[in-house]
């Protein structure tokens, strides 16, 4: 089964997942970084910049909550702006002692994910210029945190911090850019592989469809040929001068019809490897009863079929077996008048086997050796049971019951 375009990995889906995770964990870490310095928390200690930081953090949480409704560009731009504001506000307040200035490295990181390289470079330059402006403000004395600290006016500390932040940011941005390029190549190769697989899958489906059509046509022709043969036998039975010949020809006709019915059901089915068992048994029983129920008895056929489908290798022998059993019931089991005439057929699974139980409420068999019936029909049944590797049990006292169990896969 091939993947749909929606389920395939794309560079945008990877970036979206990365941005979503960044929003969530970034918001949590920012909240912790905001709350911890405020302990013990007092509202009166909050200034304008604290409220600005808190507003940015809340906005990031809101963006994460609505992340599925927002585009990658919007989320990336929003988070980039929030990080920039968070960095600038704290640097403006605390100068070189800003505890959040390392978030500077995330600015080019986010920019390279969301935008093209040229725009990422522009955001990086803007961030550096902002850092330089704030540094100049402190070094020139125009900015002050409210207390005098000589360290704030030492140029090399600002320069060293700026160089370190810039280098780390550039390394991270270059790594992400290289990662993006590598990922793009992998995804392009993946898409090419998908296209090849889809083409092969399409060709395979077409070949299978053609073969299925061909097999259905073969089954249809076999069914038609068997119908011709059964028709000829039926005509011949009409010309027979004695009852024995007519009966023998009718038996042969029904045996051929039981095979023909398998091919008919396969031809009608979308799956040419199996037949619908309940439908097959019902139609087969109707054909046989119509052929041999000359006395017009009201014969009730009850089916308890818990096997939905049976493969072709089992279908033909099972059909002939049931044909012989139903015929036997009609000709010999129901040869006396009785209150009701009932045929019950059950089919179910037993682990790695199928089990079929056939039973009628007829007179049974009064043979001295009831476990081995005589005649061509019984010989045929025994042969077919051996063919499907079945274990059978026969009861003929006051009824006729044959149960047989055979493996799902014939060796």
Question: Among 153, 183, 200, which residue terminates a domain?
Answer: 153
Q: What is the mean pLDDT of residues 298-308?
A: 90
Classify burial at 31, counting beta carbons within 10 Å of its beta carbon; exposed 0-12, middle 13-18, buried 19 or more: middle
Residue 207 maps to a domain: no
Residue 378 maps to a domain: yes
Question: What is the reported pTM?
Answer: 0.51
**CA-only gyration radius of the chain, Å:** 43
Percentage above 70 pLDDT, the chain: 89
Question: Among 153, 187, 206, which residue terminates a domain?
Answer: 153
Residue 263 maps to a domain: no
149 plus 15 within the same structural domain: yes
Measured between alpha carbons, how far is 401 from 394 in angstroms, rounded to an integer? Answer: 6
Using DSSP's 3-state secondary structure scheme, residue 390 falls into coil
Residue 67 maps to a domain: yes
Residue 123 maps to a domain: yes
pLDDT at 142: 73
Q: What is the pLDDT of residues 230-281, one digit of tens each?
A: 777 777 777 777 777 777 777 777 777 777 777 777 666 667 678 888 888 8
**What is the number of domains present in the chain?**
2
Return the CATH number at 317.
3.30.565.10
The CA–CA distances, whole Å, from 72 to 19, 63, 79, 179 equal 8, 11, 11, 18
The dihedrals phi and psi of 159, each to the nearest 5 degrees, come to -65, -45
E strands, 237-340, in order: 274-276, 299-305, 309-311
Measured between alpha carbons, how far is 237 from 251 in angstroms, rounded to an integer? Answer: 10
Range of lowest pLDDT (2-6, 32-36, 78-82, 357-361): 2-6
Q: What is the mean pLDDT of residues 350-367?
A: 82
**Model confidence at 130: pLDDT above 60:** yes
Average pLDDT, the chain: 79
CA-based nearest residue to 303, from 274, 331, 281? 281
pLDDT at 371: 41
Question: Among 153, 177, 208, which residue terminates a domain?
Answer: 153
Range of lowest pLDDT (212-216, 303-307, 381-385): 212-216
Q: What is the mean pLDDT of residues 359-383?
A: 67
In sequence order, which ranges of 275-311 are alpha helices (DSSP H)?
Answer: 277-292
Model confidence at 152, in pLDDT bands (50, 70, 90)?
Answer: low
The CA–CA distances, whole Å, from 26 to 45, 58, 64 equal 24, 11, 10
Of 123-127, 181-185, 262-266, the range with the highest mean pLDDT is 123-127
Measured between alpha carbons, how far is 25 from 410 in angstroms, rounded to an integer? Answer: 59
pLDDT at 176: 76
Q: What is the mean pLDDT of residues 77-81?
A: 84
- Is 261 in contact with 280 (CB distance < 8 Å)? yes
Residue 220 maps to a domain: no
Sign, CA dihedral 125-131-134-138, equals: negative
Q: What is the pLDDT of residues 318-349, one digit of tens each?
A: 888 988 888 888 888 887 888 888 999 999 99
CA-based nearest residue to 356, from 406, 310, 297? 406
Residue 216 maps to a domain: no
Domain region containing 92: 11-153
pLDDT at 368: 43
Complete DSSP assignment for 348-386: EEETTEEEEEEEE-S-B---SSTTS--SHHHHHHHHHHH
User: Edge-to-edge strand order for the sheet containing 299-305?
Assistant: 299-305, 341-350, 353-360, 400-407, 391-395
CA-based nearest residue to 102, from 21, 197, 26? 26
Measured between alpha carbons, how far is 301 from 340 in angstroms, rounded to an integer? Answer: 11
Contacts of residue 141, Cβ cutoff 8 Å, sequence gap at least 6: 153
Residue 74 maps to a domain: yes
Q: What is the mean pLDDT of residues 103-117?
A: 80
């Amino acid at each position: 089964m091939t993947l749909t375009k929606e389920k395939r990995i794309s560079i945008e889906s990877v970036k979206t997942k990365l941005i979503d995770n960044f929003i969530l964990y970034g918001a949590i870490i920012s909240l912790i970084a905001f709350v911890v310095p405020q302990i013990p928390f007092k509202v009166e200690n909050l200034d304008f910049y604290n409220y600005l930081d808190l507003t940015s953090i809340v906005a990031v949480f809101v963006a994460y909550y609505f992340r599925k409704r927002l585009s990658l560009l919007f989320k990336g731009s929003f988070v980039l702006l929030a990080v920039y504001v968070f960095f600038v506000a704290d640097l403006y307040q605390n100068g070189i002692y800003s505890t959040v200035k390392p978030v500077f490295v995330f600015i080019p990181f986010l920019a390279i994910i969301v935008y093209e390289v040229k725009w990422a470079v522009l955001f990086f330059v803007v961030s550096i210029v902002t850092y330089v402006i704030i540094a100049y403000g402190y070094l020139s004395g125009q900015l002050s945190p409210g207390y005098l600290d000589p360290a704030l006016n030492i140029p090399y500390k600002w320069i060293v911090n700026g160089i370190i932040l810039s280098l780390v940011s550039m390394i991270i941005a270059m790594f992400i850019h290289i990662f993006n390029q590598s990922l793009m190549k992998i995804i392009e190769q993946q898409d090419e592989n998908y296209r090849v697989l889809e083409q092969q899958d399409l060709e395979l489906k077409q070949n299978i469809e053609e073969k299925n059509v061909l097999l259905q046509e073969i089954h249809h022709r076999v069914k038609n040929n068997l119908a011709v043969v059964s028709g000829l036998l039926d005509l011949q039975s009409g010309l027979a001068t004695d009852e024995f010949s007519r009966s023998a020809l009718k038996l042969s006709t029904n045996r051929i019809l039981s095979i023909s019915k398998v091919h008919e059901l396969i031809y009608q089915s979308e799956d040419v490897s199996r037949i619908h068992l309940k439908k097959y048994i019902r139609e087969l029983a109707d054909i046989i009863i119509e052929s041999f129920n000359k006395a017009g008895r009201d014969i009730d056929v009850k089916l308890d079929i818990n096997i939905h489908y049976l493969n072709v290798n089992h279908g033909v022998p099972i059909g002939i077996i049931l044909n012989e059993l139903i015929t036997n019931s009609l000709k010999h089991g129901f040869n006396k008048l009785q209150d009701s005439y009932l045929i019950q057929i059950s089919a179910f699974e037993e682990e790695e086997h199928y089990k079929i139980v056939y039973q009628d409420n007829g007179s049974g068999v009064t043979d001295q050796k009831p476990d081995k019936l005589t005649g061509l029909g019984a010989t045929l049944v025994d042969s077919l049971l051996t063919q499907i590797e079945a274990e059978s049990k026969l009861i003929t006292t006051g009824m006729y019951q044959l149960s047989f169990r055979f493996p799902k896969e014939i060796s």
